[in-house]
Structure 1
Amino acid sequence: MTIKEVVRNYSKQLKDVTHIPAKEVEIFICHILEKNNIWLHLNYNNEFSEIKQLEKLIEKRKKDYPLEYLIGRASFYGESFLVKENVLIPRPETELLVDNAVEILKDTKNKTVLEIGTGSGIISVMLALLIKDIKIIAVDINDDAIALAKENAKKHNVEDRITFIKSDLYTNISEDEEIYMTISNPPYIANDYKLPQNVKYEPQNALFGGEVGDELLKNIIEETSKREIKYLLCEMGYDQKKPLENYLNNFLIKDYSFYQDYEKFDRGFTVEFKKI
């Protein structure tokens, strides 16, 4: 079969799991052949011989297994990042969190940033790519995540600006460290929330934040305040703005703001703490 015929025939098998079945078959073919999309369309009438390899990927995808895990990569902020099982898959809305951090950091002298829950390292790596004189400490409790984040830092040539540490929040971070900003996309889903089938393949401890869901976020707010760090930027759940806004009243805060994601859901916040 030609590539064109393969795309037409196998896309039918994916119509119930994705709204872009033909595109996903093309992605699998590019992955197998180690080619890009431009090459694919220039060679659409060429024969495709790796049918068995494609069928293995299609069979897993039919079970709602994440595309990113199957091809081992994901796009974030226009860059390609390595992705592996047992580490959270990057989401497009997290780009907004990076945007907000860059806006604050670009005109400051102290560019020391702590990322809590680095996962695949996308936030830290992008900040290092966008702000050349930055110093980042990136922590996670997941050994697989730290290993993958290191790979992504090396892939993008920013490993000299990021220190990776295994730590539960601030536990292994020295209090002598003069951190200007903490940034985090922590677990914030309530424990009893019914996840979509495809998300169930991702690490649960990177998704669920407690009985209510915002417990970890509140811990991060409290610890950041105690450390006298000037800025805290976090992603959050769409229904957590009001309880978190009320919780912020317990702290000395100069200013705070919330932002919405691409779908106009409340998705995160920026806090500027007062200096004691």
Structure 2
Amino acid sequence: MTIKACIKKYANELKNITHIPNKEVEILILHLLQKNVIWLHLNSHLEFEYEKELEKLVKKRATDYPLEYLTKKASFYGEIFEVATNVLIPRPETELLVDKAIEILEEIKSPKVLEIGVGSGIISVMLAKLIEDISIIAVDINDDALELAKTNAIKHGVEDKIEFIKSDLYANISNEIDFHMTISNPPYIANNCKLPKNVEFEPKNALFGGKVGDELLKMIIEQTYSRKIKYLLCEMGYDQKKPLEEFFKTFNIEEYSFYKDYSDFDRGFVIKFKKEK
């Protein structure tokens, strides 16, 4: 069977799972062949020798198993990152968090940044690639995440700009370090929230933030403030703007703002704390 025929055949099995079944089958074929899209379009008439392997991947994808876990790859900010099954899959919305950070960091000489919950490393790696004189400490409680983030830092040639530390929030971070910014995409979903089927395959400790959902976010705000760090940037849940805005009133804040994601949902915030005298 030709590559073109395989795409047509197996796309039919994914039509109820994704709105781009043909494209996803192409991605799986490229994964098996280790080729690029241009090669595929030039050679779709060739016989495909890995149909059995493709069939297995398609059947697994048909259960709503994430495509990124099948290919062990994800795109973020125009770059390709390694993905592992015990680590959260990168989301396009997190690119907005990186954008917000860059706007601030470009105005700071030799900025020092702490990332809480590094996951696959997408935030720290992109900041390290885009801000020339930056230094970053990236923490996580998940050993698999730390190893994956290191792998991605090496892949993108920025391992000299990022120090990876196992830590629960600030627990293992020295008070002697003067950070300019803390950035985080922490777990913020309420524990009793029913997840979409495809998300159920991802690690729960990277998704659930407590009974209400914003508990971890509030801890990050409190601890960042107590460390006298000027800027805090975080992702949050679409329904958490009002309670967080109320929570902000308990701190000495110079200014804050919320931003929306690509679907026009509230998705994150930027805080600039007042400098304590």
TM-score band (shorter)?
over 0.9
**2:193 is aligned with what amino acid?**
Y
Give the whole-Å Cα distance in 2 for the aligned partners of 1:109 and 1:46. Answer: 54
Question: 1:56: Cα distance to partner?
Answer: 1.1
Structure 1 residue aligned with 2:26: 26
The 5 A counterparts of 1:193-208 are 193-208=193-208
Other structure's SS at 1:255 match: strand
Structure 1 residue aligned with 2:113: 113
Structure 2 residue aligned with 1:130: 130
Structure 2 residue aligned with 1:186: 186
Partner deviation per Cα, 1:77-102 (whole Å, 9 max, x = no partner): 00000001010000000000000000
**1:204 is aligned with what amino acid?**
K
The 5 A counterparts of 1:166-177 are 166-177=166-177
Give the whole-Å Cα distance in 2 for the aligned partners of 1:173 and 1:110. Answer: 19
Give the whole-Å Cα distance in 2 for the aligned partners of 1:155 and 1:37. Answer: 21
- Asked if the contact 1:110/1:180 (under 8 Å) is kept, the reply is no
Identity %: 68
2:103 pairs with 1:103: yes
- Asked if the contact 1:113/1:180 (under 8 Å) is kept, the reply is yes
Structure 2 residue aligned with 1:45: 45
Give the whole-Å Cα distance in 1 for the aligned partners of 2:198 and 2:128. Answer: 31
Give the whole-Å Cα distance in 2 for the aligned partners of 1:123 and 1:60. Answer: 29
2:48 pairs with 1:54: no
- Asked if the contact 1:83/1:120 (under 8 Å) is kept, the reply is yes
Give the whole-Å Cα distance in 1 for the aligned partners of 2:52 and 2:2. Answer: 15
TM-score (norm 2): 0.99
Other structure's SS at 1:101 match: helix
Question: 1:75: Cα distance to partner?
Answer: 0.1
**1:137 is aligned with what amino acid?**
I
Give the whole-Å Cα distance in 1 for the aligned partners of 2:206 and 2:107. Answer: 32
The 5 A counterparts of 1:77-96 are 77-96=77-96
Question: 1:227: Cα distance to partner?
Answer: 0.2
2:29 pairs with 1:16: no
Other structure's SS at 1:209 match: strand
Give the whole-Å Cα distance in 2 for the aligned partners of 1:19 and 1:109. Answer: 45
Question: 1:110: Cα distance to partner?
Answer: 4.2
Structure 2 residue aligned with 1:252: 252
- Asked if the contact 2:109/2:133 (under 8 Å) is kept, the reply is no
Give the whole-Å Cα distance in 1 for the aligned partners of 2:197 and 2:87. Answer: 16
Give the whole-Å Cα distance in 1 for the aligned partners of 2:7 and 2:272. Answer: 51
Which 4+ residue blocks in structure 1 deviate beyond 3 angstroms? Answer: none
Structure 1 residue aligned with 2:220: 220
Other structure's SS at 2:152 match: helix
Give the whole-Å Cα distance in 2 for the aligned partners of 1:181 and 1:128. Answer: 14
Unaligned runs of 5+ in 2: none
Give the whole-Å Cα distance in 1 for the aligned partners of 2:132 and 2:151. Answer: 19
Give the count of matched residue pairs. 276
Question: 1:16: Cα distance to partner?
Answer: 1.1
TM-score (norm 1): 0.99
2:36 pairs with 1:36: yes
Give the whole-Å Cα distance in 2 for the aligned partners of 1:236 and 1:25. Answer: 33
Structure 2 residue aligned with 1:211: 211
- Asked if the contact 2:110/2:133 (under 8 Å) is kept, the reply is no
Give the whole-Å Cα distance in 1 for the aligned partners of 2:271 and 2:38. Answer: 44
CA RMSD of aligned residues (A): 0.5
Structure 1 residue aligned with 2:273: 273
Structure 2 residue aligned with 1:72: 72
Give the whole-Å Cα distance in 2 for the aligned partners of 1:110 and 1:215. Answer: 32
- Asked if the contact 1:137/1:164 (under 8 Å) is kept, the reply is yes
**2:74 is aligned with what amino acid?**
A
**2:58 is aligned with what amino acid?**
I
Partner deviation per Cα, 1:13-55 (whole Å, 9 max, x = no partner): 1111111111000000000000001110111111101011101
